[in-house]
Copies of this chain bind each other. A is one copy, B any other.
């Protein structure tokens, strides 16, 4: 330890956001004698960028809150100098890196002063840039991306002064969805949400799960346009005309939220290796293709739990990578392991979360999958605050390895995604879901957690209790409703045969053995049970609707 503590290494870190500042602070802590310089083009550093939509919505009063520590100190350059002992160079641009001679050239954007610094180690934490549609000028008065404090302040000012009645949000990822809610719920702005894919939150959800959220968005007045790839945005008097492959939408303003790409100009200029997905290539030690250059945060490619390389721009990962780089700089062998991409987003009253691969992604990687779905009680079903949650588990149909989970509903879905994500990391399989242990008490959970239930359903499916595959188009099967007479009356399902589960055991023989039967109940529990009875009776083409009536109709 003492040799690293007394190290007077010179370290330069480019980028003063989560990854860069955490690496810097960590390295300085471990090597107090080192000189650590952090360079950033911006004036405002280290802000909670993920909180900007909540500033826009009014949930957060001032952007200052996003720049403060939890004890109210402003995290500006002075703070990082005084408290963390860093050499901070903000509003400063890197003009050149001479990696041979380990020299970096800087220019102060305000004064124009230029300067060269020598370094022993360099860290690139250059982040990511929001993608703009081609042909839109950066200073367009009605169109922008949404990434910085300045972006948020500008839009909020427009809202506060009543300038916006209608806006188009292009892209329905996290930011797009959060903005749609912010504009709608707080400011009563009419929002057109435009998505090129056939589903919203396309990195998180498959179409069947997206459907639930889409209904919820529509109920809150958001006008959703799926399968609409924007081809042009034309200026028209007092507004914009957004042209897509499908239709043209008139609006006043537009925010482009179609994703980010890693900022790798500097890495490219230095000749560092860039991966297929456009991020800087790093090894498990977060070392780039040059042994004295590390990289962390949104600018790098990481390894997904199943081995593919991906760019996953998440603040949670950037923070962890920052610490790991800080360790590496001191010679510690802290690895940044694989990621599973656990993520969550609030959509009005719905909580939405996912981890691992969607069916869509798994198909792209050529992984064979099967799924199970279910509607579950978040808490003990008799507890007054119980809410429904809708879950979909994806697993490898060859190996039974778990691949991913998608979850939505008014109940606590994030907990399930967090637990499952960490099981994914350990390459868990279906059997492992039955070994999970959950703290249980009626105000917090049901006695058997939904993840246990999904595991059991998947194992049953691997035997004979098959659930309906929603990717296949509906067939002409008989739909058998096994709900109680009350449920069938109050929440009718058309074109179904109705036999309550309580009577079904004795009436299984009423249906011909060669008949294709699809069984439905409210959540999927009873229909799965009924399916087994038909299988036992010798039926060959019977399956149950996982998630049941609730997931078809999304009402509770």
Interface residue ranges, A against B (CB under 8 Å): 1, 5, 18, 29, 32, 48, 50-51, 54, 59-60, 65-66, 68-73, 79, 82-83, 85, 174, 314-320, 323-324, 334, 337, 339-346, 351, 353-355, 377, 380-384, 412, 414-415, 417-419, 421-423, 425-426, 434-445, 447-449, 452, 456, 463, 483-484, 486-487, 501-503, 505, 521-523, 525-526, 529, 532, 536
Contacts and interface: CB of A to CB of B under 8 A. Distances in A.
19 contacts: A32-B536, A48-B382, A48-B447, A50-B440, A54-B442, A59-B384, A60-B382, A69-B381, A73-B484, A83-B505, A316-B439, A320-B434, A346-B443, A412-B412, A412-B415, A414-B445, A418-B437, A418-B438, A419-B419
B440 A314 contact: yes
B415 A437 contact: no
8 closest pairs, A vs B, by CB? Answer: A316-B440, A70-B381, A344-B439, A65-B382, A342-B439, A415-B415, A346-B443, A315-B447
B343 A441 contact: yes
A315 to B, nearest CB: 5
Nearest to A343: B439
B70 A523 contact: yes
Given A29-B532, A434-B320, A50 B442 contact: yes
Contacts of A71: 483-484, 487, 521-523, 526
Given A342-B438, A355-B439, A418-B419, A502 B316 contact: no
B51 A380 contact: yes
A220 to B, nearest CB: 16
A113 B314 CA distance: 68
A1 B465 CA distance: 14
A448 to B, nearest CB: 5
Contacts of A501: 83
B70 A437 contact: no
As for how many copies of this chain the complex holds, the number is 2
A435 B337 contact: yes
Contacts of A73: 484, 502
Given A71-B487, A340-B437, A355-B439, 4 more contacts: A54-B443, A342-B438, A344-B441, A422-B422
B425 A426 contact: no
Contacts of A59: 383-384
B483 A442 contact: no
A86 to B, nearest CB: 11
Contacts of A452: 320
A68 B382 contact: yes
A421 B444 contact: no
A34 to B, nearest CB: 12
Nearest to A486: B72
Contact of A344 (B353, B440, B486): B440
A126 B330 CA distance: 59
A311 to B, nearest CB: 16
A448 B319 contact: yes
Nearest to A354: B439
B437 A383 contact: no
B426 A439 contact: no
A448 B316 CA distance: 6
Nearest to A483: B71
A463 B26 CA distance: 14
Contacts of A423: 422
Contacts of A426: 426
Nearest to A342: B439
A382 B66 contact: yes
Contacts of A323: 434, 456
A54 B442 CA distance: 8
A17 B331 CA distance: 57
Given A426-B426, A521-B71, A50 B441 contact: yes
A270 B383 CA distance: 40
A344 B422 contact: no
A354 B324 CA distance: 29
A436 B415 contact: no
Given A380-B51, A383-B51, A439 B422 contact: no
Contacts of A318: 447
Nearest to A58: B384
Given A415-B414, A523-B70, A421 B438 contact: yes
Nearest to A425: B437
A352 to B, nearest CB: 9
A317 B435 CA distance: 10
Nearest to A386: B70
A191 to B, nearest CB: 19
